[in-house]
Amino acid sequence: MMLNKSYKNISLITRIRNEEEIIGDFLSYYKDFPVYIYDDVSTDNTVGICKSYPNVKGIIQATEWDTDRTRAEYTTRQAVLELALKDNPEWILYVDADERVEFPDIDLDKYDGVRMKLFDFYITEGDKNKKYTEREYLGPEYRDILMMFRNVKGLRYELRDQREMILPNSSLVCDDGYVKHYGKAISIKEWESTCDYYVKYFPEFYKMKWEKRRGKAIHNKSDFGADLIKWEQRFDYGYPLFVV
């Protein structure tokens, strides 16, 4: 991962829970960034692995599980944001442990935020026995997500189910960069655990969607009915996802 000289003083924040299968890959991939973590009551060795990586600069270890998950979506992010802001970084990068960013070659000094295209990878019959990072196929649908933002006054996560930071109206945001999202591609077991999680803890919209996905970890089309593509085809075949 080659970064130009404007990629400096950037802190990475993330929220994790029971990620021992992938957290080492995550921390190695983002080795050039100081990482601040909110651990949401992990019951495996996730925290122990995190503590062994020198780029991890702070960990919040929660002791109580908030079953109101749309509330937890913003309260946990706000907590880890506040932890990172104590070191006064110039920029914040928010990523989940199952996301790998391909950074754009831009001059960050010209912008206040960077919005990137996030694509979902899937398990297929041909690669079901491979490591998740070796999955070959993704859906053509992408979500535009503000992944990086400048440290300005008033930053807050405060809305239910909030992922993206809301920047001041005068902010200049660059639309560039790509994200490989492996959340649906880690393993068949993890797929079923994800279905259980959303069905049990999230509102009806999420519950109905993930209930229908049980037993369907192996894909020949995307979750939205499209033919799968390879990573290098995203430029020609990728399009925005409007129905989530």
CATH number at residue 45: 3.90.550
Evaluate whether residue 1 is within a structural domain. no
Q: What is the mean pLDDT of the chain?
A: 97
Distance CA 187, CA 185 (A): 6
pLDDT at residue 134 greater than cutoff 60: yes
Number of domains in the chain: 1
Distance CA 30, CA 132 (A): 17
Evaluate whether residue 3 is within a structural domain. no
Looking at residue 243, its pLDDT comes to 61
Q: Find the helix or strand (DSSP H, E) in which 59 lies.
A: strand 56-61
Looking at residue 210, its pLDDT comes to 97
Task: Tell me which residue range forms the domain holding 168.
Answer: 10-240
pLDDT band at 2 (very low <50, low <70, confident <90, very high): confident
Evaluate whether residue 24 is within a structural domain. yes
Tell me which residue has tokens 């831009």.
106
pLDDT band at 216 (very low <50, low <70, confident <90, very high): very high
pLDDT at residue 244 greater than cutoff 60: no
DSSP 137-174: EEEEEEEEEEEEEE--TT----STT--S----TT--EE
pLDDT at residue 69 greater than cutoff 60: yes
Evaluate whether residue 60 is within a structural domain. yes
- Return the closest-CA partner of residue 96 out of 156, 147, 55: 147
Q: Find the helix or strand (DSSP H, E) in which 85 lies.
A: helix 69-85
DSSP 93-115: EE--TTEEEE-----GGG-SEEE
pLDDT at residue 197 greater than cutoff 80: yes
Distance CA 95, CA 32 (A): 14
46 in Cβ contact with 21 (< 8 Å): no
112-116, 130-134, 136-140, 203-207 — which is least confidently predicted? 203-207
Q: What is the maximum span of the chain, computed from C-alpha positions, in angstroms?
A: 49
Evaluate whether residue 159 is within a structural domain. yes
Is the pLDDT higher at 244 or at 64? 64
Tell me which residue has tokens 């998740």.
132
Q: Is 56 helix (H, G, I), strand (E, B) or coil?
A: strand
β-sheet bridge partners, residue 12: 35, 93
Looking at residue 1, its pLDDT comes to 74
Looking at residue 233, its pLDDT comes to 98
